[in-house]
Amino acid sequence: MFVDSDTVNEFKSEDGAIHVIERRCKLDIDAPRLLKKIAGVDYVYFVQKNSLNSRERTLHIEAHNETFSNRVIITEHCCYTVSAQHLGKDVHPENEDWTCFEQSASLDIKSFFGFESTVEKIAMKQYTSNIKKGKEIIEYYLRQLEEEGITFVPRWTPPSIAPSSETSSLCKKQAASLALVVPDAAQAEGLGSEALGSPSGPPEPGAGTPDDKLDADYIKRYLGDLTPLQESCLIRLRQWLQETHKGKIPKDEHILRFLRARDFNIDKAREIMCQSLTWRKQHQVDYILETWSPPQVLQDYYAGGWHHHDKDGRPLYVLRLGQMDTKGLVRALGEEALLRYVLSINEEGLRRCEENTKVFGRPISSWTCLVDLEGLNMRHLWRPGVKALLRIIEVVEANYPETLGRLLILRAPRVFPVLWTLVSPFIDDNTRRKFLIYAGNDYQGPGGLLDYIDKEIIPDFLSGECMCEVPEGGLVPKSLYRTAEELENEDLRLWTETIYQSASVFKGAPHEILIQIVDASSVITWDFDVCKGDIVFNIYHSKRSPQPPKKDSLGAHSITSPGGNNVQLIDRVWQLGRDYSMVESPLICKEGESVQGSHVTRWPGFYILQWRFHSMPACAATNLPRVDDVLASLQVSSHKCKVMYYTEVIGSEDFRGSMTSLESSHSGFSQLSAATTSSSQSQSSSMISRWRFC
């Protein structure tokens, strides 16, 4: 980042054709703090020599480093010419008056305190980024000249035909403008995210007067249709940022996103934008694409990726959520790694929007997301996974407003209303209006996918013609799961620490938990892993609360062991069919299985979830021996099972509300809602998914 400069030498020819100026430039390098400390410098100095030859219509800029010149040698040469014949080349074939620009640079690292490789990577990344920045500065000054009504610069003439004072002033201004292009190798403040511009950036065109306006062609090309009021809001907010914000100033496109998200209320847009800029700085989001690589687990099992573009030119992101093991990813990586990966996807989306803007010649500021829910089941409603999803939605909504142009949700299954109930309150109303939801194969009919995506690029797994390279996902092997302690060591927090409970199940001593239901048609959900042994899972209903004759402080028989608690609620004198009833068929679960499911309750009362040792057919669930009969078997490891479980109750009002919202979102969901309602009225009303880990 350019800080200051001193003029070392300056030369002007008598006829004014040649102007050479040499400067010593002070730069702030955005390098790791440790590297600066070891090097013992806060700033670096470059020597830059600009040679303007008006007679030959050329400008040469040469630069080399002064700091660390005994360890690192950096040289750069930039050449602006109208006619390149002196280089043995012809002028541009389309227009001989066009300016040709050539740039070359070299980096020679002799030694740098053992950080040679690091310095080389930093220099190469930032040099590549700053090539774009130099082009932006040139384009800015060209636009500024056009706004002043200058579209033609007269050629230099010898003193005998003296130019007018106006022309002379213009030439000086042109020379000064070109001289401001600091050597890109020396501009160590990287471009970072595509959402951000240069550090202190060129000021907005014509800033400083009440009649400020953006160029009409610039608006049409990069920003889209703006009313005079909207244009004024954009200029005022950008000017305020330049006067008050220290650091990178967002580009106009990104400022416009925050304004649109708050209906062009400057105060509200300024507030959320300042919070976002602070967040980006704290978490180094500007450099996430260059400095962070996703773990191999994400590359192998995260079923999402970019896939061409939609009919409007928006980048298209495909997410096969139904094929993705969200629980396995959270258990293997932690929430923070998933969040960083989603942020990198959004940063890449911003870059692709800029690229598509150039390709299609019109402003493209958002992308389309296609979510395939084929395979979605109760496993995806794993509570820590849902909480991680909610946090991701919250972060994205706050820092990437108006970047989602359209969300296409395809092949939504019966379980989707539950997920929608959980996440929809966290989604902004403007964003929610962009959701299009299709059940089954409705996306193949009128008003479906072909209205938004060309037939040639519809992915093959949606019966299209285009091979999609998005990973297929699949189960994350349990061998890749990590403990909470391991995740904490990397400053990652696994939410399952306080949510999941462990329980031991002994032969003859099941583990039971009690859930009281007040409103009928509530939904009981569960998620458990069978860590050891085989178990049978049952659900019972009773009109009265279990009151075992021998009670501990919990009002139940209880055994505590290092492997987890064992609580028994059903008294031995109770009879199945008289005191309590079975509301689901017994489910046999093998060691290593993860089971997620739900039950829509038909009556209020008390529901008992039971895990018992599997050593007999599931029908032999009556007359179970109780605590006194099992004490002798506590030390027999072969008669012991272990489960990790979590349960939650969703109220009937919330559950029905989710179906109502889906019906209003898309007509194709009428059959889905009817099927779900019908399920809640049937006697067997559970949704269970079973996953076997090898």
Per-domain residue ranges of the chain: 2-110, 216-283, 285-479, 500-546+570-616+640-653
Which pLDDT score is estimated for 616? 52
Quote the DSSP letter at residue 466: B
Q: Using the 8-state DSSP alphabet, how is residue 156 labeled?
A: P
Are 216-283 and 500-546+570-616+640-653 in the same CATH fold?
no
Higher confidence at residue 138 or residue 197?
138
Q: Which CATH number describes the domain made up of 500-546+570-616+640-653?
A: 2.60.120.680
Residue 490 pLDDT greater than 80, yes or no: no
Sign of CA dihedral 424, 426, 427, 430: positive
Q: Which helix (H) or strand (E) holds 558?
A: strand 557-561
Mean pLDDT across the chain: 75
- CB under 8 Å to 591, separation ≥6 — which residues? 530, 531, 532, 533, 534, 641
What pLDDT does residue 94 have? 57
* Residue 314 to residues 359, 433, 449, 569, Cα–Cα distance (Å): 11, 17, 15, 58
Burial of 499 (0-12, 13-18, 19+ CB in 10 A): middle
Contacts for 562 with CB less than 8 Å, ≥ 6 apart: none
Residues 6+ apart with CB under 8 A from 123: 74, 107, 185, 188
Helix, strand, coil proportions of the chain in percent (round to 5)? 40, 25, 35
Work out the average pLDDT over 597-608. 90
Would you say 210 and 148 are in contact if contact means Cβ atoms under 8 Å apart? no
**Parallel/antiparallel/unpaired status of strands 501-506 and 581-582:** unpaired
Residue 540 and residue 369: Cα distance in Å, rounded? 42
Reading the block at residue 428, the tokens are: 């902004």
Would you say residue 631 has pLDDT above 70?
no
User: Lowest-confidence range among 8-12, 76-80, 276-280, 687-691?
Assistant: 687-691
Question: Average pLDDT in the 616-636 region?
Answer: 42
The more confident residue out of 441 and 348 is: 348
Q: Of 494, 379, 381, 367, nearest to 431 (Cα)?
A: 367
Cα distance between residue 643 and residue 594, in whole Å: 10
DSSP annotation of 211: T
Q: Is residue 436 pLDDT above 80, yes or no?
A: yes
pLDDT at 613 over 50: yes
The structural architecture, per CATH, of the domain 285-479 is 3-Layer(aba) Sandwich (3.40)
> What's the confidence (pLDDT) of residue 15?
86
pLDDT surpasses 80 at 10? yes
Q: What residue type is assigned to position 228 of the chain?
A: P
Q: How confident is the model at residue 487 (pLDDT cuts 50, 70, 90)?
A: low
- Tell me how far CA of residue 438 lies from CA of 89, 187, 413, 661, in angstroms: 59, 50, 10, 14
Q: b or e along 440-471 (b: 16 or more beta carbons within 10 Å of the residue's beta carbon)?
A: eebbeeeebbeebbeeebbbeebebebebebb
Q: What does the pLDDT average to over 344-348?
A: 94
Q: Looking at the predicted structure, is the pLDDT value of residue 509 above 80?
A: yes
Distance CA 190, CA 397 (A): 26
What does the DSSP 8-state code read for residue 357?
A: H
The pLDDT of 640-661, averaged and rounded, is: 66
Q: Structure tokens of 502?
A: 């462990």
| pLDDT > 70 fraction of the chain, expressed in percent and rounded | 70
Beta strands in 373-500 (DSSP E): 404-412, 435-439
Name the least confident of 198-212, 375-389, 398-412, 504-518: 198-212
Task: Choose which CATH entry (1.10.150.120, 1.10.8.20, 1.10.490.10, 1.10.3720.10) describes domain 216-283.
Answer: 1.10.8.20
What is the predicted pLDDT for the residue at 183?
37
Q: How confident is the model at residue 621, as a pLDDT?
A: 40
Q: Distance (Å, rounded) from C-alpha 215 to C-alpha 207?
A: 12
The Cα 203–Cα 134 span in angstroms is 15
pTM of the model: 0.47
Least confident of 61-70, 191-200, 674-683: 674-683
Return the pLDDT at 34.
55
When pLDDT is cut at 50, 70 and 90, the band that residue 421 belongs to is confident
> How many CB atoms neighbour CB 532 within 10 A?
16
Asked if pLDDT for residue 111 goes beyond 90, the answer is no
Distance CA(203)–CA(193), nearest Å, equals 19
Looking at per-residue pLDDT, the higher value among 567 and 35 belongs to 567
- Residue (of 105, 118, 107) closest to 39 by Cα position: 118
**In what helix (H) or strand (E) does residue 237 lie, and over which residues does it extend?**
helix 228-244
